[in-house]
């Protein structure tokens, strides 16, 4: 299998790449990113891409891949409301539309988040925009579309691109995982769960934090 990973320099995306490189069933990983990740490997190809609203010229690339794991995103604490919607909704939909046109057989795994509101009425920007994006992706009718809704992502590798609020949370993840395990997931477990969705599929199309934990702890088939 050949997969595309967006958000390749972020906590989740970089970990997806690390775990994918360890998986024998994945022959090529293509990172679509504004800058190269701090990972090098014979199976890893990096495409530097600056405009995530425009994918002209990438049609052949999309046609040669079996799945995309969309990890591109940003904390709502780092940008304005308008920028958050641009990055979370507009970029995702532009990429997804370009991929499904170029390759209708492609599978798509979208990194959403716990609390996403598909009624699109939440007062929280994160919940409302993630829910809006989920709804829009569902209307595209991918052959296989999976929405993953993790809680707080507990990094297993330090990442210089981590949001300041997430850096402040690092010392508290072990305690949160002990007291409220349904609100926290380790990045490597999340990554393996998303890879298994791309590789094997799943009956559930929207997966909660607990479902992702169970899936990510299982070995690849």
In a domain, 202, yes or no: yes
Its domain, for residue 63, covers 2-216
The pLDDT, as a whole number, for residue 163 is 67
| pLDDT under 70: residue ranges of the chain | 160-166, 220-221
Of the chain, the end-to-end C-alpha distance in Å amounts to: 13
The pLDDT, as a whole number, for residue 11 is 92
CATH classification at residue 77: 3.40.50.720
The pLDDT, as a whole number, for residue 77 is 84
Please tell me the total count of domains within the chain.
1
In a domain, 184, yes or no: yes
């Amino acid at each position: 299998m050949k997969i595309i990973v967006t958000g390749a320099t972020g906590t989740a995306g970089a970990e997806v790449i690390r775990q994918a490189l360890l998986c024998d069933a994945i022959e090529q990983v293509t990172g679509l990113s504004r800058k190269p990740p701090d990972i090098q490997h014979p199976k890893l190809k990096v495409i530097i891409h600056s405009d995530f609203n425009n994918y002209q010229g990438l049609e052949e690339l999309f046609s040669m891949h079996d799945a995309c794991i969309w990890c591109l995103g940003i904390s709502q604490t780092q940008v304005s409301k308008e920028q958050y919607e641009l990055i979370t909704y507009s970029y995702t939909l532009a990429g997804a539309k370009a991929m499904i046109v170029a390759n209708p057989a492609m599978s798509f795994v979208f990194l959403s988040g716990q609390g996403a509101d598909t009624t699109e009425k939440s007062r929280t920007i994160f919940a409302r925009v993630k829910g809006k994006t989920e709804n829009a992706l569902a209307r595209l009718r991918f052959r296989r579309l999976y929405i993953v809704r993790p809680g707080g992502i507990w990094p297993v590798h330090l990442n210089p691109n981590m949001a300041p609020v997430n850096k402040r949370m690092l010392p508290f993840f072990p305690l949160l995982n002990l007291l409220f395990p349904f609100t926290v997931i380790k990045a490597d477990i999340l990554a393996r769960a998303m890879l298994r969705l791309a590789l094997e599929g799943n009956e559930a199309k929207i997966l909660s934090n607990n479902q992702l934990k169970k899936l990510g702890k299982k070995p690849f088939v």
